[in-house]
Structure 1
Amino acid sequence: MTKDVYEYAVIRVVPRVERGELINAGVLLYCQPRDFLCARVELDAVRLRALDPEADIDGVRRALGAYEMACGQTPGPLADEPLGGRFRWLTAPRSTIVQTGPVHAGLTADPETELARLFDKLVRV
């Protein structure tokens, strides 16, 4: 079975940027040889409220959902971008409540299975 290089970044929520505290809320995975780009997100609202009792849960959920939509065929500002361009745009550094961590790489024969494995390891408690 052939393995291909993939890149991924953890999607994290930093409710109070000045404090630097964060929770992992998703994984974004891109595999160019397989023409694969997908984000999987899940917000743990209880953990978020522990860091910031006044956090806008609905706003954070919408921002996380934007990562998923940007990966799909949904019309939007990134719809005409190639998958690699979308991944680079989504992983660009930003100082917002929802952001990605550093990009890491690996090898996989099945990007969908790798995304599920990373999600379980890095996001689920």
Structure 2
Amino acid sequence: MNKYGRQAQEAWKAASPARYSQIQDPEEFFTKLGEEAQEQVDELLLKIAGPDPQGESYLEKVGRLNAAKNQAEEIVRYDLLSPPETEDEEDEYENPTIKEHLEFMAEMQRLREQL
């Protein structure tokens, strides 16, 4: 189980012990959830970071990539790893802030390219 699976397992135990107790195989469930989270973090990181700006120094790139990873982890942690509050919310929930955030980042990239 990776770090995202462990984080989710701890969050579910603390926030929703009744739901946690209903999971038949917690090890398998949180292992798969952690793997899905890792894939989403990797995908979001690339979208948030965008292409390397011209003239970017090494330290600027490291900072940009670290910030993008932190943002991607925060989004995935909120959207995927948190236990659902109710059955209905789990099925119907869609986090509009992810789309808005990606649109904002795309606009920022367009502005950078104009400079």
TM-score by length of 2: 0.30
Query: Who wins on radius of gyration, i.e. which is larger?
Result: 2
TM-score by length of 1: 0.29
Greater per-residue helix proportion: 2
- Specify which structure has the bigger relative contact order, considering alpha-carbon pairs within 8 angstroms and separated by 6 or more residues: 1
Which structure shows the higher strand fraction?
Answer: 1
